[in-house]
Amino acid sequence: MTIGLYHYIALAVILFAIGFLGVLLRKNTLVIYMCLELMLVAATLALVAFSRYNGAIEGNVFVFFILTVAAAEVAVGLAIVVALFRKRGTVDVAKLNALKN
């Protein structure tokens, strides 16, 4: 059986679910951030696969933009994490409960 679109989509969905699981399970802000990036990469994999199997380049061009936005997002997000660490001395989301109640 040759590798079809479904194989790539299945892998992208599994990757996305693993990233989602990580966001739900982990307490470390940095690892949560990595899992968010994992979900973004899963979406790009689905886009590239759709693009290849439809014979259109649009999906690949979208991946370009996703990569750029992800780079900007990582820069800002990590700056926020560092600012948070300076202010509160921890990056554990279980301890960052100032807004609770």
Partner 1 sequence: MSETIFYIFAFIVAASALGVVANHNAVASALSFFVCLCGISVLFAMLDAYLLAFLLILVYAGAVVALFLFIIMLLDMHGGDRPPFGKMTIVSGVIAGTLLVLGVVTFLARGQFSTDALALARQAPSLFTDLKFYGVKLFTSYMLPVQLVGFLLLTGMLGVIVISKKQDEEGKKAEGLKD
Q: Which residues here bind partner 1, judged by CB under 8 A?
A: 1-9, 11, 13-22, 24-28, 30-31, 33-35, 37-38, 41, 44-45, 48-49, 51-55, 57-58, 60-61, 63-65, 67-76, 78-83, 85-87, 91
- The tally of CA atoms less than 13 A away on the side-chain side of residue 11 is 13
Query: CA-CA distance, 77 to 40, in Å (whole number)?
Result: 14
Q: Which is nearer to partner 1, 70 or 96 (CB)?
A: 70
Query: CA-CA distance, 77 to 98, in Å (whole number)?
Result: 19
- The nearest distance, CB 18 to partner 1, in angstroms, is 4
* Residue the block writes with tokens 């990595």: 34
- The nearest distance, CB 43 to partner 1, in angstroms, is 11
CB burial class (10 A; 0-12, 13-18, 19+) of residue 2? exposed
Q: Which is nearer to partner 1, 60 or 96 (CB)?
A: 60
- The nearest distance, CB 97 to partner 1, in angstroms, is 16
Beta bridge partners of 28: 92
- The nearest distance, CB 2 to partner 1, in angstroms, is 7
